[in-house]
């Protein structure tokens, strides 16, 4: 499987996943259609599916255009079916979805929104976390509770350490400032900041990250209890 990271809107990431045997593709969280269409045409791909992690406009903005142009299916969480434009394939929490080209499991991770899900492509061990987990940060709590978000992050922490994390926004540099403010002596974090600064200087996205690096450096994954997580998340909102 080949992955193309696509920058959308101001700081969103969409991901085009390609089965290289069939040239069939799916796209995760198309925030807008234009940059996706350009790549589908240039690379001569068949866009078969859209997968959405949640209903926010910066993740579903391209759905209807793409569905109309390529006649692709729109896959999303069954409990979010009233919020996701064009949805016609419904997946459940912990359900394994398989077709001829792709295979992934959906996990419900409420907090940022009530119906947020993440997608785990277990054969390649890739996790698409949308706005639940970012590199060095986590999503804001909009619809859900702190408790839900804390538990959603706990679920992610239990994947194997070599899982590659593909997240929804290029917030890494801003997030790194918050992490180093609260964890100034973390040597692994210092190294990671050097790496991401170097990437950003070259205009290279900081996605993906690995779960191992996030466990070492992401202060939100280091919180031991709900109380300290909630305080930290509130501090970040005003950072």
Q: Does 213 bind Zn ion (CB under 5 A)?
A: no
Site for Zn ion contains 170 (CB under 5 A)? no
Which C-beta is closer to Zn ion: that of 32 or that of 131?
131
In the complex, the residues that contact Fe ion under the rule CB under 5 A are 58, 131
* Candidates 3-11, 48-56, 60-68, 119-127; binding stretch for Zn ion (CB under 5 A): 48-56
Q: Select the span of 49-57, 74-82, 103-111, 182-190 touching Zn ion (CB under 5 A).
A: 49-57
Give the shortest CB-52-to-Zn ion separation in angstroms.
11
* Binding of residue 169 to Zn ion (CB under 5 A): no
Q: How far is the CB of 188 from Fe ion (least distance, A)?
A: 27
Binding Zn ion (rule: CB under 5 A), the pick from 32, 131, 170, 213 is 131
CB of 111 to Fe ion, least distance (A): 13
34 vs 31: CA distance, rounded Å = 10
Whether the CB-CB separation of 16 and 27 falls below 8 Å is answered with: yes
67 is in the binding site of which of Fe ion, Zn ion, none (Cβ under 5 to 8 A by kind)?
A: none
Q: How far is the CB of 55 from Zn ion (least distance, A)?
A: 8
Q: How far is the CB of 160 from Zn ion (least distance, A)?
A: 26
Closer by beta carbon to Zn ion, 131 or else 213? 131
Residue 168 or 208: the one with the smaller Cβ distance to Zn ion is: 168
Which lies closer to Zn ion via its Cβ, residue 76 or residue 222?
A: 76
| DSSP per-residue letters across the chain | -EEEEEEETTTEEEEEEEETTTTEEEEE--S-SHHHHHHHHHTT-EEEEEE-S---HHHHTTHHHHHHHH--EEEEEGGGTTTSTT--EEE-TT-EEE-SS-EEEEEE--SSSTT-EEEEETTTTEEEEETTEETTEE---SSS-HHHHHHHHHHHHTS-TT-EEEESB--HHHHHHHHHHH-TT-HHHHHHHHHHHHHHHTT-----EEHHHHHHH-GGGS--SHHHHHHHHHHHHT-
In this chain, which stretch among 15-23, 56-64, 93-101, 213-221 interacts with Zn ion, using CB under 5 A?
A: 56-64
Q: Considering only residues 139 through 158, tell me which ones interact with Zn ion, judged by CB under 5 A.
A: none
CB atoms under 10 Å from CB of 90, counted, come to 17
- Look at residue 29 and give the partner it binds from Zn ion, Fe ion, none, a contact being a CB closer than 5 to 8 Å depending on partner kind: none
Residues near Zn ion (CB under 5 A), total: 2
Distance linking the first and last C-alpha atoms of the chain: 38
């Amino acid at each position: 499987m080949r992955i193309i990271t696509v920058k959308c809107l101001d700081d969103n990431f969409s991901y085009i996943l390609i089965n290289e045997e069939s040239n069939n593709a799916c796209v995760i969280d198309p925030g807008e259609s234009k940059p996706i269409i350009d790549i589908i045409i240039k690379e001569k791909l068949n866009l078969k599916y859209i997968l959405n992690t949640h209903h926010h406009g910066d993740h579903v903005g391209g759905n209807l255009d793409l569905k109309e142009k390529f006649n692709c299916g729109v896959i999303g969480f069954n409990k979010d079916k009233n919020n996701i434009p064009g949805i016609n394939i419904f997946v459940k929490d912990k359900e394994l979805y398989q077709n001829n080209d792709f295979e992934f499991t959906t996990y419900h991770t409420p907090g940022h929104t009530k119906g947020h899900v993440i997608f785990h492509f277990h054969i390649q061990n890739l996790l698409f976390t949308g706005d639940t987990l970012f590199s060095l940060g986590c999503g804001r709590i909009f619809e859900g509770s702190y408790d839900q978000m804390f538990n959603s992050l706990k679920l992610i922490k239990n994947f194997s350490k070599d899982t590659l994390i593909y997240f929804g926004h290029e917030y890494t540099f801003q997030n790194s400032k918050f992490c180093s403010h609260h964890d100034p002596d973390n040597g692994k974090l210092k190294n990671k900041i050097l790496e991401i600064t170097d990437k950003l200087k070259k205009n290279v996205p900081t996605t993906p990250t690995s779960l191992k690096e996030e466990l070492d450096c992401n202060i939100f994954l280091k919180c031991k209890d709900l109380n300290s997580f909630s305080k930290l998340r509130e501090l970040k909102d005003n950072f």
